[in-house]
Amino acid sequence: MEKEFPISATDPTGKRLHVSKEPHPLIGKQHLIDIHHPMVDPIAAMRMKKGKIVSAEEAIELIRDDDTIVTAGFVGAGFAEELAIALKERFLKTGRPRNLTLTYPAGQGDGKTKGLNHLALEGLVGRIICGHTGLTPGLGSLVNEDKILAYNVPMGAVTQLYRDIAAGKPGNLTHVGLGTFIDPREDGGKLNELTKSTGEDLIQLMTVDGQDYLLYKSFPIHVAFLRGTTADPDGNITMEKESMVLDALSMAQAARNSGGVVIVQVERLADRGTLNAREVIIPGILVDCVVVAKPENHWQTFGEPYSAAFSCEHRVPMQGVPPLPLDGRKIIARRAAFELKPNSIVNLGIGMPEGVSRVANEERILEYCTLTAESGIIGGLPMGGLDFGAGINVDALITENYQFDFYDGGGLDIAFLGMAETDAEGNVNVSRFGPRFTGPGGFIDISQNAKTVCFLGMFTAGDLNLFVDEGRLRIDHEGRQKKFVRQVEQKTFSGTYAAAHRQRVLYITERCVFSLCDEGLELIEIAPGIDLESQILALMDFKPIMRQPPKLMDERIFRFGRMGIKEDLLTIPLEERFTYNAADNTFFINLENYYIKSSEDVQRMRQIVDDALAFQDKKVHTIANYDNFNVSPHLVDEYVEMVKHAAGFYESVTRYTTSTFLRMKLGDELERRGVAPHIYESRDEARRALHDR
């Protein structure tokens, strides 16, 4: 395919010029045209519609000194490795471009040499505005040595900001980040002394209707480094073999509407008109250059060259996922799994929280909740390590910014996140440790907005050695480093903010569990086999609140084999099965999947009904759900007598079950004792019958 590509030039003042390839229609010779970055005048652009496919080196020529580059990627997924390598090589060869600003939401690297580690060169980068730096130690060194300006921004806030930049808005106004080191009243997200002394303020505190918010200010984006699977000559981009779609569209729009250039790395080309329009993620009108990458620079993730499961092309048998070894990490994941509830929507952070999904799969409860990751996956099993952000057997893939919209609005029932160090106020630090910067990633967005958040981490760090012994925990060698400190080094999570907003917060370790209360951290559970004084209190820099002696953690956590928590998960506590609605004077009884096995169960049920209805000044209307209900044969008489007692509080009652056998059996027993059965097949029939009476 013949390429048409602009030849760049500069005038003596350094202004970017375009050298036309064709004679001017009026003056008949080549000429220089002053253009708006990044490309060409409208007439040349029309000719170039067939020539968007270029080499990486040609595309990189469009980048100027002081440009701001946005890069897509999640660890390694969606990252344009070919473009990053080409930019590095050009800088090493020519010393240009210089003083670039890099902005990106998630960590993009392997912790060694890949991803944005290619660009960790003094002189090439002058500033970073990002969500995570832990996977790019080279950039972290430049930050720590005060050689570049550096800002952390919560991952969700910055993904939404790109959308706001595309829309021409002044910034992203949100509550996310309040009370943390992102808050301008703390550090304003500034990571080093150079930024604090000379850097502009990118985050502004604002008050709207008496409530505090943070404004993450917009800035122009000059270049976008994006990635897809297939491109046509017009620049239309599909992502059928990518493991996630990320925010490529918003980034492309932000660059285009900032007057910038959009460069997309792909693995293959298609003829014009052959791509399915529904599969095009980035339309060609936004794309300036398409670069076909070498296979070694286009892995699906940094851990996997290609997996059809990651790109949702097929599902894999979950039974093939091996169980985790019973070590400290699994003990923590097991205790965390007890917090899962049916139909809950869950987020799992990177690192130790990844084990919760493995435990849930091992216990056969994964199907009863929906796991998500901030990369945009919904359902299935999220991956970890260098595959983090990808998933197998997922139900849906959406963009990062829409995922964070859902998170920020309270869509998460529970989140499991890491915990590096914690203090008496319940603050958590996961973002800075001495000279090492990692950044919050999506931690702040998620931890501030989930209805329940569980922080997971070992009680001490450094050479900790432990083992389980018949349902008890034994510490063979204690860790060197305390993790429950007087004051965290950086406040990535604010305990005070969470307590003020009545958020449920747990801190789960291998040997004990804390909860957040108004006064700070409260010790509520201790592992069997652990000594409270010597193995907990003596290893903390503060004394936790203890309103009562901590109860023992479930001993099943400390035994080999499955814990068998599926029944616990699916069993609704008896007290929660009886609800009185005063507005319409209706008493709801939910006995679905309940099995009465003992006389004590019957007596507890009788007591609950008495407590709820004995002091009402009028009789109530009652609807009872008997779906999949069962009662031991020797308890039928006692149970029916209890029902007859409860009927004394009822003005009217209807019952329903889809079981024909139970309708006949229970109906006969009630009728034999003078109680009108009124048992229907569905809830709607029961409701209609109740209202008709």
Query: Active-site positions?
Result: 374
| Angstrom distance (rounded) from CA 462 to CA 482 | 9
Residue with tokens 């910067």: 437
Token pair, residue 364, equals 């056969």
CB 224 within 8 A of CB 62: no
Strand ranges (DSSP E) for 512-656? 512-517, 520-526, 551-552, 578-581, 586-590, 595-596, 620-625, 630-631, 650-656
Plot region of 75 (φ>0 → left; ψ -120 to 50 → alpha; else → beta): left
| Kind plus residue range of the DSSP H or E element containing 485 | none
Is residue 13 packed enough to be buried (19+ CB in 10 Å), middle (13-18) or exposed (0-12)? exposed
Rounded to whole angstroms, how far apart are CA atoms 631 and 654?
19
Q: Contact, 502 vs 422, CB < 8 A?
A: no
DSSP string, 282-298: E-GGG-SEEEEPPGGG-
Residue 83 to residue 6: CA distance in whole angstroms: 19
Neighbours of 471 (CB within 10 A): 15
Q: In whole angstroms, what is the distance from residue 16 CA to residue 274 CA?
A: 36
Residue 492, token pair as written in the block: 């990535």
Name which of 442, 567, 70 is nearest 286 in CA terms: 70
Q: Are 391 and 451 in contact (CB under 8 A)?
A: no
- Looking only at the bridges linking them, the beta strands covering 396-397 and 377-378 are antiparallel
Distance CA 475, CA 161 (A): 47
Burial 530-562, CB ≥16 within 10 A → b, else e: beeeebbbebbebebbeeeebeebbbebbbeee
- 3-state DSSP helix/strand/coil percent for the chain, to nearest 5? 30, 25, 45
Angle (nearest 5°) at CA 253 between 251 and 256: 110
**CA dihedral for 372, 377, 382, 388, sign (positive or negative):** negative
Dist CA 505 CA 665 (whole Å): 46
DSSP code of 343? Answer: T
Distance CA 154, CA 176 (A): 8
The answer to whether the beta carbons of residues 328 and 466 sit under 8 Å apart is yes
Torsion of Cα atoms, 33 then 39 then 43 then 48, to 10°: 130
| Cβ pair 643, 671 in contact under 8 A | no
Residue pair 59/86 in contact by the 8 Å Cβ criterion: yes
Instruction: Note the helical H segments in 323-414.
Output: 328-337, 354-362, 400-408
Crossing angle between the packed helical segments 155-166 and 248-257, to the nearest 10 degrees: 40
How far apart are alpha carbons 681 and 236 in whole angstroms?
54
Closest C-alpha among 607, 602, 482 to residue 535:
482
Neighbouring residues of 412: CB distance < 8 A, sequence distance ≥ 6: 345, 346, 347, 372, 406, 446, 449, 450, 451
| Cβ partners under 8 Å of residue 255, min gap 6 | 70, 221, 222, 223, 224, 261, 262, 286
